[in-house]
Amino acid sequence: MHGVSRVKQSQAALEAKRQRERAKLKEYLALSDEILSRKKRGDLGMESLALTTKMLQINPEFYTVWNYRRNIYLGVIFPNSTPEQINETLERDLVMTTIALKAHPKVYCIWTHRRWCLAQTPEGPGREGDDIHGWRMKNWKQELFVVEKMLGVDARNFHAWNYRRYILENMPVKKPDIDELVYTTKKIQANFSNFSAWHQRSKTYPLLWESNVLDSEKSREEEFDLVRNAMYTDPEDQSVWVYHRWLVGSGEDIELLKREIRAIKELLEEEAGSKWCMESLVHYQTLLVQRHYAVLGDGEYGRLRANSLELLQQLETQDPLRKQRYRDIASSFPSNQ
């Protein structure tokens, strides 16, 4: 740490440390060899399961061991267990992986195993009515609680966002889609630079529009207000501009395109040299020409083309590592024929 003097270790202390590390490595390799040997000969016993637990607590990224663990469950343990026993086993694995996620929140294997555990949860404890989903609802709700706690620590953990999306899509009794707007709004207001939260909104709004829960025109305009607020707060935040492009769409609405171009030009006047302002202006002016040339005419086309090429030249100077990209965009600007 800064400001803390380092204590020089003696040769004896360094050698003792190396000895401990060599012993740990030897033990790890012996455990790995034993597990892989058991897997190769098809040993699906409880002792093998215990060895997988030991290994995964050391190295949760060992995906072969996760697969072996699941094979033991499906091949021997679950076929000889009651539904209640299966559920208890899965709950223990969820607890085990929760502990692992605290130290390794972005390891794919852990998230994959949690999905598997949820998918394997049996129906019950009852046989009819709401009680048939009792275990599953308990586990799904608990997982939603855990993942939202994790997003409270790191709101941009895309593993957690993807897992949360999986939970919401597969819950036995689904939550209303409108709840997602409330949740993502809270996350975005806490930090506009959250790709996953914006992306989740792009998945949620179409559902709400298709089901007529929200008026598409009114809610879209409200969303533009939120996005403009984010743009003015941090015009260099890429996540906002990516979402804005989704909101604008393919450019069929000429008035919408013109309005957003004007708004971005106003922002560029305040934030001269803003890379994302300039890139977005080129993108939307290109759309305007592609979709509505017949309405624009040669005069307006010429002004849009000249402005776009000027912006691309500025971007070349400002961002020389991507100059060829900007030249390619310039060469592909729609012709007036």
Q: Three-class SS of residue 322?
A: helix
Q: What pLDDT digit, counting tens, does each position of 29-75 carry?
A: 999 999 999 999 999 999 999 999 999 999 999 999 999 999 999 99
Distances (CA, A) of 323 to 160, 310, 314, 317, 319: 36, 13, 10, 8, 7
Question: What is the phi/psi pair of residue 171, to 5°?
Answer: -60, 140
Q: What pLDDT digit, counting tens, does each position of 94-149 carry?
A: 999 999 999 999 999 999 999 999 999 998 886 666 577 889 999 999 999 999 99
Q: How many CB atoms lie within 10 A of CB 97?
A: 23
Q: Give the whole-angstrom CA distance, residue 21 versus residue 81.
A: 41
Q: Are the C-beta atoms of residues 122 and 86 closer than 8 Å to each other?
A: yes
Q: How many CB atoms lie within 10 A of CB 127?
A: 8
What pLDDT, on a 0 to 100 scale, did the predictor assign at position 1?
A: 44
Structure tokens given for 162: 């993807």
What pLDDT, on a 0 to 100 scale, did the predictor assign at position 335?
A: 82
Given a cut of 90, whether residue 10 has pLDDT beyond it is no
Q: What pLDDT digit, counting tens, does each position of 216-262 carry?
A: 999 999 999 999 999 999 999 999 999 999 999 999 999 999 999 99
Q: What pLDDT digit, counting tens, does each position of 158-215 carry?
A: 999 999 999 999 988 888 999 999 999 999 999 999 999 999 999 999 999 999 999 9
Q: How many CB atoms lie within 10 A of CB 30?
A: 10
The closest alpha carbon to 28, from 62, 1, 3, 79, belongs to 62
Q: Give the whole-angstrom CA distance, residue 57 versus residue 67.
A: 15
